[in-house]
Structure 1
Amino acid sequence: MEDKRNIPIIEWEHLDKRKFYLFGICMTMMIRILRTEGTAGLYRGFLVNTFTLISGQCYVTTYELTRKYVSHYTNNNAIKSLVAGGSASLVAQSITVPIDVVSQHLMMQRKGESMGRFKVRHQDGKGLLVFGQTKDIIGQIFKADGFRGFYRGYVASLLTYIPNSAVWWPFYHFYAEQLSSLTPKDCPHLLLQAISGPLAAATASTLTNPMDVIRARVQVEGKSSIILTFRQLLAEEGPWGLTKGLSARIISATPSTIVIVVGYETLKKLSLRPELVDSRHW
């Protein structure tokens, strides 16, 4: 049975792929840097942040292709969104975790600080060039921990971000549909989607916050066992420790979620095949 929706979802087959990737690369770069470092980030850490384009494009491609694949078996949008969101996060995190590990060390060195076992190196009294710093950090990580050093906290990240992504997409479409049914037909879809994004993010954050707290401890404190970290957290702070940072997480995620949703939905609408442009309401 066909899934009739008030807000039609633009699927993979509806897109002009050349436009999608051309606009997508620019949009992913802007969103990623602005989310992590603000406006100044546009001019700082460009080399490392450039590699996040790969994870961003792999995420959206995996999401859209997985939706298309799952649609052969079901037209249930919630199932398609859940499976596609989880799969996309798995692919993206496999690329993002090593980049984030290097980026974190690079940012600490720029502040003139050491991070863990890695010390700041200077050349002729001045900081190394960005590429030199990045190359030096990669070498230090590999020398200290081998290839595994680039995937510290990888399992914890997967256990956090896969459920978050898998839950976010179904709730995003659910909230958009509910808002659409409560508002006039001529209400801009982009506005409803911009509201639905933060609502979905708040829901997903609430459900996955316990794992995010554990992930943060694993990565920051260098712990190796998720189970032991969980037990230690419960012993020290009790069940309420698993809700730590939830309100701040929701508040901080709201602006970036709005930017991402508006950006992605605009990207898909701009990338529509010419014959479908007039069939989509903004």
Structure 2
Amino acid sequence: MFKQSTSSEFRPKPNDYDERLHVIEWHHMNLWKYFPYTMACSLSVRAVVYPLVLMKTRFQLQSQNQVYGSMMDAISRILKQEGGRAFWKGFLMQTPQVALNFMSNPVYEFVREILHNQVGISSTGTVSALASSVSTVTKEYVSIPFDIISQQIMIYNSPAGFTRGSSNIVELVKKDGKGNRNLGRRIITVIYKLDGIKGFFRGIFASLLLYVPFSMLFWSTYYFYLYNVKSFVNWYTIKEWNRTEKDKYFTTSQCISAGFAGATAALLTNPLEMYRLRVQ
């Protein structure tokens, strides 16, 4: 998937035993492979974590624990009342967002290149944080209609215990007596009748207020964690074995750092997530 780099930044130094790329940029990749692999991985990850997303959304939209008391209570009630398929309610409405990689990733890499090569910012974390904020703005203007529709589908079976802004739309959809048939299309119709086109962009500024800081926090803390995790792993492996073992566990270090960065960003921006969901 990767091409040979000619950049001096990535060319190994003399006597340097580690010739792997630590910062992969646009020109290092075979895009014909990158985009299909990215879309397949993104869709797979979304499918796996979507039940958690659904439960999180329901928890954040419910009024004073009227629907679920805990995560185990939510799992039990959803299984008993709606069945296992309910954990993926609204998933199909979010799958088009996978294709947004074709738009957001080029924007991210283009801004990275400008900031690094033309503006002269050398910090990888700073460049990534700023570039991700620009690509996030671009992506949100396209993805927010899918988020709004998906959110309505998530609470369709039990709207009474959720905030009024979200439940009103569902209650209007339920009045047509069609059950779950063509649910996405019917929700789109109701939103359009109530608010017109602007109804599909309700809470756009709340979304930007959430996702721009989230992406900036993720990338800046990711490189902070990566530096420290690498330092510890390299110190331990060099101490226990020998110098040639350095960065043997670089991919593992990246995974650990990404997990810490995601948890940090999610923890710090959770109040903004609550605000976004209730505005929409």
- TM-score with structure 2 length normalisation? 0.66
CA–CA separation in structure 1 for the residues paired with 2:260 and 2:101? 22
What is the identity, as a one-letter code, of the residue corresponding to 1:63?
Answer: Y
- Alpha-carbon shift at residue 33 of structure 1 (Å): 2.6
Distance 2:103 2:32 in 1: 15
The aligned counterpart of 1:88 is 135
Structure-to-structure mapping, 1:1-282, within 5 angstroms: 2=9, 8-37=22-51, 45=90, 47-72=92-117, 73-74=119-120, 75-109=122-156, 111=157, 113=159, 115-117=167-169, 118-120=172-174, 121-123=176-178, 127-128=180-181, 132-183=182-233, 184=237, 185-219=246-280
1:41: how far off?
7.9
> Contact 1:86–1:162 (CA<8 Å) still a contact in 2?
yes
Q: 1:77 to 1:102 in 2, by over 3 A?
A: same
Aligned length: 213
TM-score with structure 1 setting the length: 0.66
Unaligned runs of 5+ in 2: 1-7, 13-17, 53-83, 161-166, 238-245
Q: Over the residues paired in the alignment, what is the CA RMSD in angstroms?
A: 2.9
More displaced 10-residue stretch of structure 1: 137-146 or 50-59: 50-59
For 2:22, give the aligned amino acid: P
Residues 113 and 46 (structure 1 numbering): CA distance in 2 closer, same or farther, change over 3 Å? same
Identity within the alignment, %? 28
CA contact (8 A) 2:218 2:264 kept: yes
Moved more, 146-155 or 111-120: 111-120
Q: For 2:146 and 2:184, how far apart are their aligned partners in 1?
A: 10
Residues 200 and 149 (structure 1), Cα distance of their counterparts in 2 relative to 1, 3 Å cut:
same
The structure, 1 or 2, with the larger RCO (C-alpha pairs under 8 Å, 6+ apart) is: 1
Q: Name the SS of the counterpart of 2:186 in structure 1.
A: helix
